[in-house]
Amino acid sequence: MTDNHTTKHPLTLLGLGDMGTALARTWLAAGHPLTVWNRTAAKAGALAADGATVAADPAGAVAANGLVVLCLLDDASIDDVLKDVDLTGRDLVNLTTGTPAEGRARAAWAAERGARFVDGGIMATPTMIGVPEAGGYVFYSGSRALFDTHRAALEVPAGARFVGEDPGHAALHDVALLSAMYGMFAGISHAYALIEGEDIAPNDLAPLLSEWLGAMGFFVGNAGERLTSRDLTTGVVSNLAMQVAASGTLLRTAGEQGVSAELIAPYLDLMRRRLDADPAAHGGEDTVGAIALLRSGVRTPQGASSHSFLPCGRTKRP
């Protein structure tokens, strides 16, 4: 502990799971006076030894400081912890993973209780917390005034990126990035399954996969540009008609290797449906056009809704 606690930013943390504990350690190491509470009290023991004040209950923890950070399992657990607690005048920062709708509802809930609110989406694992070179950060959205007031404390565990005053947008950014990550995990899993039982070592495929995924990373920016310009055809180098034809090879190879295509088939199917909707219109696109079918939520070539932000050709509802 440092001698200059009074110049530091006192705060309360509710939730001492793996992530909450990692957060707590960074605030304590930086000399911020920290009050903690956890449903299972034993998890607070090591932090108490490092200087944290352990509150007896959530009400006591919330009363201790103006800034109250939540790092609980899910949105429902927030109700369990805070349903009977006076939040008047508190600044709530919710680092519990949730949906955009949960973030917006939680902001309204906090306002009804006289609290300012910011929602957060943590883009880091516990081991990346307090390790700036690991590159972890947190998306924040909601009250800009709250964020500006507490920014210095919030930047202690990891970088802070404010993404707007819509309290749903931190979760939306979080889930968008996580969804892309799981898509990548799915492709990698399929690739390793394909070589299993062959004379190809996973450790030999690994650098090839990394290199290839890095090279294909251009698709992120390419898709962003096309979604913005709505130009799906200029400069396309691997057109949809060719990619759909080639996708049969991927599916046959999965069959030959005895591997389920369940992880890659949905995306290949989406490409095919986009092409089938209007081969002349969509054959010269790349795969960005398939996003229009996702927005429709309808699994037919005619199913894209009028809400789509992409030109859909004949994919709009008749």
Q: Which residue ranges make up the site for ligand FVH (CB under 6 A)?
A: 15-20, 38-40, 43, 71-74, 77, 80-81, 96-97, 122, 125-126
Output the smallest distance, CB 135 to ligand FVH, in A: 14
Output the smallest distance, CB 71 to ligand FVH, in A: 5
Output the smallest distance, CB 170 to ligand FVH, in A: 12
Please give the Cα distance from 29 to 33 (Å, whole number): 10
According to DSSP, the β-strands at 67-70 and 53-54 are unpaired
Whichever of 95 and 270 has its CB closer to ligand FVH, that residue is 95
Output the smallest distance, CB 21 to ligand FVH, in A: 7
Whichever of 19 and 67 has its CB closer to ligand FVH, that residue is 19
> Most distant CA pair in the chain: distance in Å?
72
Output the smallest distance, CB 158 to ligand FVH, in A: 10
Output the smallest distance, CB 119 to ligand FVH, in A: 12
Whichever of 61 and 240 has its CB closer to ligand FVH, that residue is 61
Q: Which residue is nearest to ligand FVH (CB)?
A: 17
- Contact criterion met (CB below 8 Å) for 31 and 8: yes
Whichever of 33 and 136 has its CB closer to ligand FVH, that residue is 136
Whichever of 20 and 100 has its CB closer to ligand FVH, that residue is 20
Output the smallest distance, CB 256 to ligand FVH, in A: 37
Please give the Cα distance from 133 to 139 (Å, whole number): 17
Beta strands in the chain (DSSP E): 11-14, 34-37, 53-54, 67-70, 91-94, 116-123, 137-142, 159-162
**Cβ neighbours of residue 298 closer than 8 Å, sequence gap 6 or more:** 304, 305
Burial class (CB in 10 A: 0-12, 13-18, 19+), 214: exposed
Whichever of 80 and 148 has its CB closer to ligand FVH, that residue is 80
- DSSP string for residues in 122-175: EES-GGGTT-GGG--EEEEEE-HHHHHHHHHHHTTTSEEEE--S-TTHHHHHHH
Whichever of 20 and 103 has its CB closer to ligand FVH, that residue is 20
Q: How far is CA 210 from CA 181, 183, 214, in A?
A: 14, 15, 6
